[in-house]
Amino acid sequence: MSTTFLPCGDYHQNYTEDHSWWQTKFIKGKMILLFLVLFIGIPQVAGVYWLSVFIQVGYTVLGALGVQLLIGFCGQLTLGHAAFIAVGAYTSTLMVLEFPWPQFFVDWGLAYPVSIIVAAVVAGIWSLLFGLPSARVKGFYLILTTMAAQFITVDFILTQYVSQIGGRGQAFSLPPGTIKIGPWVIDSNIKVYYFMIILVIICVSVVVNLLRSRAGRAWIAIRDNDISAEVMGINVIKYKLLAFFTAGFIGGLAGAFWISNLAALSPEHFTWFWSLWLVGVILIGGVGSIHGTIFGALFMVVVMELLQLGIMPFADSYPQLLQKFLFIKEAAFGLAICGFLIFEPNGLAYRWWQIKNYFNLWPFSY
């Protein structure tokens, strides 16, 4: 029996088939097409501006992936994830600029790759420290704890102390040629884009596989009912802390990646609004869905860019529109969240699931 399509039935014969990523030839074809679009189509077609937009989308995916893991899969509310992204960015920057690497290490382009791993681990440990209260509190009180992480990390430690290292004041300059992996110098938008795509694919693959593991099943059980999970023998505290470490680790990777797109790094890149923005991304995309993280990032970044392009024709007559675009953006962000919570509370991922089912089950899609 052919398994090219799976309409109105299930032809899986064993556990491996049931849990394979690409279960049919049709799905494999779609994924090959997606890879061709990402690695060849977009770089060939997109100009410098839209390439930077896609880089922003990738950065948002990396940032929101940790938030999705905490909120969507483990049920741990957070409003301070930008702090862990900032820790990753500053750790990587300090290691590249300030650490006394042997000259051959710098010449061979190993400083930045090593700094990425160290940044991710440091951010994971920092996230773990602020996740410790989750052993005793949850809900609203946990939100306040994670908000404290934002203000303590960014507004106090990074702004008042770390930013002053080397007498730089507030910003760390990242000269061209500083960020390189081996012989590959990341000094243009197209190189940053390819680096972003590779990093997003790796992180999404790791998270998807984690969710299929013992830890992933434990996180989902804790999310659904932590008391029942504990009764079933799950070490709730252990897996909560593991979720915080993993989310912080991914956030650290996002921060270490983001410095490759910056000429200078400052605390202004990691405001509390960015933490709130990432929560909005998973609310709009769909809580508890990896697809939702990607769809939410696409929606939030692309729609805001289109909104800015939409007001450009009126900029000559109303110059204040551009001057106050940040406030317009924040208002649109709030309206988008309200609209999705009212009309599509399950997010874009649920709508995508419905569309797929409609075509997969056609002509019996009713």
Question: Between these two residues, 82 and 26, which has the higher pLDDT value?
Answer: 82
Are 83 and 270 within 8 A, CB to CB? yes
pLDDT of residue 16: 74
pLDDT of residue 9: 52
Are 299 and 195 within 8 A, CB to CB? no
Q: What is the CATH number of the domain that holds 305?
A: 1.10.3470
Lowest mean pLDDT among 69-83, 189-203, 210-224, 295-309: 295-309
Q: How many CB atoms lie within 10 A of CB 79?
A: 21
Are 188 and 176 within 8 A, CB to CB? no
Tens digits of residue pLDDT in 136-175: 888 888 999 999 999 999 999 998 888 877 665 667 888 8
pLDDT of residue 4: 54
pLDDT of residue 233: 93
| Residue 230 included in any domain | yes
Tens digits of residue pLDDT in 59-110: 999 999 999 999 999 999 999 999 999 999 999 999 998 888 888 888 888 9
| Residue 5 included in any domain | no
pLDDT of residue 46: 86
**CA distance linking residue 290 with residue 282, whole number of Å:** 9
In this predicted structure, the answer to whether residue 116 has a pLDDT above a threshold of 80 is: yes
DSSP conformation letters of 38-96: IIIIHHHH--HHHHHHHHHHHHHHHHHHHHIIIIIIT----S-HHHHHHHHHHHHHHHH
Are 275 and 82 within 8 A, CB to CB? yes
Are 295 and 286 within 8 A, CB to CB? yes
In this predicted structure, the answer to whether residue 194 has a pLDDT above a threshold of 70 is: yes
Are 82 and 271 within 8 A, CB to CB? yes
The mean per-residue pLDDT over the stretch 195-201 comes to 96
- All residues at 6 or more sequence positions from 244 whose CB lies less than 8 Å from its CB, including other chains: 70, 76, 127, 128, 130, 131, 134
- Calculate the average pLDDT of the chain: 88
Q: How confident is the model at residue 330 (pLDDT cuts 50, 70, 90)?
A: confident
**CA distance linking residue 295 with residue 313, whole number of Å:** 28
For the chain, the domain total comes to: 1
| Residue 1 included in any domain | no
The mean per-residue pLDDT over the stretch 112-125 comes to 96
| Residue 183 included in any domain | yes
| Residue 29 included in any domain | no
**Residue span of the structural domain in which 129 resides:** 46-361
pLDDT of residue 169: 62
**CA distance linking residue 144 with residue 183, whole number of Å:** 45
| Residue 8 included in any domain | no
Tens digits of residue pLDDT in 235-261: 999 999 999 999 999 999 999 999 999
| Residue 4 included in any domain | no
| Residue 114 included in any domain | yes
Tens digits of residue pLDDT in 262-309: 988 999 899 999 999 999 999 999 999 999 999 999 999 998 888 888
